[in-house]
Chain A
Amino acid sequence: MQTAGPVTAGPRARPQHRRRRPSWASASRRRLSRKVKGLAYAAPTAVFVTVFFLLPLLLVGQMSLSDWPLLAGDRGVNAPDNYTRVTDGTLFWPAVRFTLLYTVIATVVLLGLALLLALLVQESRPGAGFFRTVYFLPGALGLASASLLFWGLYSPTTGPLSPLPERLGLADGPVSFLATPTSALLSTVFLVVWKFAGFYMLILLVGLQRIPHEVYEAARMDGAGRGQIFRSITLPLLRPSLALCLLLCVTGSLLAFDQFFVLTKGGPDNSTVTLVQLIYREAFQRMNLGTAAALSVIVLAALLVLNALQFRGLRRADES
């Protein structure tokens, strides 16, 4: 045992010895080569982030301060005209209200249903795999394609759903699913839930399966009921997954565009215009990149604030 000491010390001693040997110059060369290697590793990401995120961001900032028609190009600084023009626009505040309303409805319905689905398929019973796949499948479709599909289904002139309520004796004539502000909003929420519930289910499923069985068993031994277990064990331990879903869902809903662009085009009567649709309209209907950029900056700032608040709220909840 005594000989073990020097033997185990051997390998440790050798590098120490080697570290002492090289001159100051070669050490600094090695440090330099390490730096170069580090830079080389980081460079692709740095270039990517610079070219595809930072530069466009700077350009948007510059655009938002300039008179910049799409067809004529930059005509020089006009700040803060674009910002006042955008916020004075008749559709701006209705769009803010509608986007928030849609976000609340979509988030509550989506996450509620996703949690329900996750609870339904969490245990490995026969057929669970089948249902997991079925619920997730719509998530594999692009949102624009899915919207187009529902547009076809909802169409009162060619769609198969429109005459259905009449045949079932629930309505007097063909139903127009997108005809009123409320029905247009609910029809779009239905599409989004169909499309995304499976995706959020998957995230929650992973969270559910990370909860150790022992905790449940201990609770049952202590005589806890199903509701009690759900409230006191499942929900608290699922919080990180729920937080992730909440963040993704809120951000995604605030940036809603495809579904409304395809299904309602902001109608009927401008009742479903979202903020991103307004950006598109400024840029490509009114052909004004300056106001479109100003609106983008406003949306970006709002998103940053909201995300920061969400993060803080969730972190505080974690600490408590």
Chain B
Amino acid sequence: MGSTTGPRRPLRRLVTGAVALFAAAGLLTACGSGDEGPSGGGGVAAGPEGVDDGTTLTMWTRAATRPQSEALVEAYNASHRNKIELTVVPTDDYQAKVGAAAGSRDLPDLFAADVVFVPNYTSSGLFADLTESIDALPFAEHLARSHIDAGTYEGRKHVVPHTLDLSVLFYNKDLYRRAGLDPEKPPTTLRAWDRHARAVDALGGDVNGTFFGGNCGGCGVFTWWPSIWAAGEEVLNEEGTEAHLDSATARTVYDTYRGWAEDGIAAPGARDETGTTWTGVFPKGKVGVMPMPSTTLGLMPKDLDVGVAPIPGPDGGASTFVGGDAVGISATSDSADQAWNFLAWSLGDEAQVDVVAAHKDVVARTDLASNKHSEADPRLVTVNELVAKGRTPYAPMFGQTFNDPNGPWLTLMRNAVFGDGSSLEKDNAAVTASLAD
């Protein structure tokens, strides 16, 4: 602050006065920001198509679904007068970024969100109410049910499916052949999957049976829960406030994974894998069979002979986690009609078939499950058909319970798979406590 030779007392008085003034203003604005309750404002006034008048729209998405969002936005910008400026945010930072922007009312016109976080956002009033616009779409009843449900709060719909990302088993047919397994017969039970993984692992060298993200809560939710659902069991109660992650079936699933960790069937690094590189291991062609996001199918190396199959339960059945991103219009957007124009277009036949399906991705509408692209690649039919069998868990406190790297679910996962598994009941109670927080 320099020397103290100046007139100190008036200065101090001035500073004190300024502080008091600013503090009063701060308190007033702080109180004022709470005025608008979580009702979700805005909504779309124009017709079912929205407005295409050359407005520039802002949109956020997370890195995990970047290729899909970019393809849709590029195709839209090329064929419309409205222009979308897409910002891709690192996946791990997305929650924080949306939260901070919501606090300062700086959300973009459109933002996609991991579908599991949507209930938290709708209940906080971040998305505009789109009920009438969604219901007016000619194909409304065919939109992926689980995404629409995740965005329904107090009977009002707020989001539409943007990118569907399903967990499916990927297996390396070349390694299956070398291990003496039938490359056209993927495992249909968790036990068979275990046998296959061990058979491939026995090839030795740098080949491994399987891989999983052992330090990644989101990966566990995405790839382990389908094995529990496949056995006809629930993981959470309907309100998403209570966990049943200590059931006998769940134990069987954890025990299988523990076997892979203990016996070195999983590729090195499974224990530390935080989710950043977990999909990068299989494409190298040294892993036999592992569950992966369906969005990675279009990114597999051309020379890798890959098969896909549903995730089985311990004794059969099949399920999947219908993840991916849902997208909505932020409640504070001034261009809701223009933003709806993009959403309505993105769900139409042209965008779904020529952009989404052409990219080997899962379509957002069940009536388009079989299309000219999926017919050329039977693997896509397998995945598209799974949408109906799959689930999207609903819990308002999903992120802080299951995705938080210091949250209770990761503790449960790691104790169950890398520990002795004796604390399962206690860990499940901690998960429930966080869900009911």
Q: Give A contacts to B, CB under 8 Å.
A: 34-35, 38-39, 41-42, 45-47, 49-51, 54-55, 58-59, 62, 69-75, 91, 155-158, 162, 173-174, 176, 178-179, 265-270, 273, 277, 280-281, 283-287, 289
Instruction: Give the contacts of B254-295 with A (CB-CB under 8 A).
Output: 267-269, 271-274, 277, 280-281
Chain A residue nearest to B126 in the complex (CB) = A71
- The smallest beta-carbon distance between A24 and chain B, in angstroms, is 19
Q: Are A266 and B273 in contact (CB under 8 A)?
A: no
Q: Once the chains are docked, how many angstroms separate the CA of A305 from the CA of B18?
A: 28
Q: Which residues of chain B come closer than 8 Å to A39, judged between CB atoms?
A: 6-7, 10-11, 14
Instruction: Report the count of interface residues on B (CB-CB < 8 A).
Output: 52
Q: Which residues of chain B come closer than 8 Å to A265, judged between CB atoms?
A: 274, 405-406
Q: Are B19 and A281 in contact (CB under 8 A)?
A: no
Q: Are B22 and A50 in contact (CB under 8 A)?
A: yes
Q: Once the chains are docked, how many angstroms separate the CA of A46 from the CA of B16?
A: 10
Q: Once the chains are docked, how many angstroms separate the CA of A49 from the CA of B12?
A: 13
Asked, given contacts A59-B30, A268-B414, A270-B411, whether A45 binds B272 with beta carbons under 8 Å apart, the answer is: no
Asked, given contacts A34-B7, A42-B6, A157-B281, whether A285 binds B124 with beta carbons under 8 Å apart, the answer is: no
Chain A residue nearest to B419 in the complex (CB) = A269
Q: Once the chains are docked, how many angstroms separate the CA of A176 from the CA of B34?
A: 48
**0 or 1 for each of B398-418: is its CB under 8 Å from A? (1 = yes):** 011001111100110010000
**0 or 1 for each of B112-154: is its CB under 8 Å from A? (1 = yes):** 0000000011001110000000000000000000000000000
Q: Check: B248 CB closer than 8 A to any chain A CB.
A: no
The one of B33, B269, B281 that contacts A174, using a Cβ cutoff of 8 Å: B269
Q: Once the chains are docked, how many angstroms separate the CA of A273 from the CA of B411?
A: 14
Q: Are A158 and B277 in contact (CB under 8 A)?
A: yes
Q: Are A73 and B103 in contact (CB under 8 A)?
A: yes
- The smallest beta-carbon distance between A42 and chain B, in angstroms, is 5
Q: Which residues of chain B come closer than 8 Å to A280, judged between CB atoms?
A: 96
Q: Give B contacts to A, CB under 8 Å.
A: 1-2, 6-7, 10-11, 14-15, 18-19, 22-23, 26-27, 30-31, 33-34, 38, 95-96, 99-100, 102-103, 120-121, 124-126, 215, 267-269, 271-274, 277, 280-281, 399-400, 403-407, 410-411, 414, 437
Chain A residue nearest to B37 in the complex (CB) = A72
The one of B26, B102, B273 that contacts A58, using a Cβ cutoff of 8 Å: B26
Q: Are A50 and B19 in contact (CB under 8 A)?
A: yes
Q: Which residues of chain B come closer than 8 Å to A155, judged between CB atoms?
A: 269, 277
Q: Once the chains are docked, how many angstroms separate the CA of A60 from the CA of B14?
A: 23
Asked, given contacts A34-B7, A39-B10, whether A156 binds B30 with beta carbons under 8 Å apart, the answer is: no
Asked, given contacts A39-B14, A157-B269, whether A70 binds B406 with beta carbons under 8 Å apart, the answer is: no
Q: Are A284 and B269 in contact (CB under 8 A)?
A: no
The one of A58, A70, A266 that contacts B103, using a Cβ cutoff of 8 Å: A70
The one of A74, A178, A277, A284 that contacts B95, using a Cβ cutoff of 8 Å: A284
Chain A residue nearest to B8 in the complex (CB) = A38
Chain A residue nearest to B33 in the complex (CB) = A73
9 A-B pairs with the lowest CB-CB distances in the bound complex, closest first: A38-B6, A71-B124, A156-B269, A284-B96, A265-B405, A73-B34, A157-B269, A285-B404, A35-B7
Q: Which of A39, A173, A285 has the most CB of B within 10 A?
A: A285
Q: Are A157 and B273 in contact (CB under 8 A)?
A: yes
Q: Once the chains are docked, how many angstroms separate the CA of A285 from the CA of B404?
A: 6
Chain B residue nearest to A40 in the complex (CB) = B6
Q: Once the chains are docked, how many angstroms separate the CA of A277 from the CA of B411?
A: 17
Q: Once the chains are docked, how many angstroms separate the CA of A281 from the CA of B103?
A: 16
- The smallest beta-carbon distance between A51 and chain B, in angstroms, is 7
Q: Are B268 and A173 in contact (CB under 8 A)?
A: yes
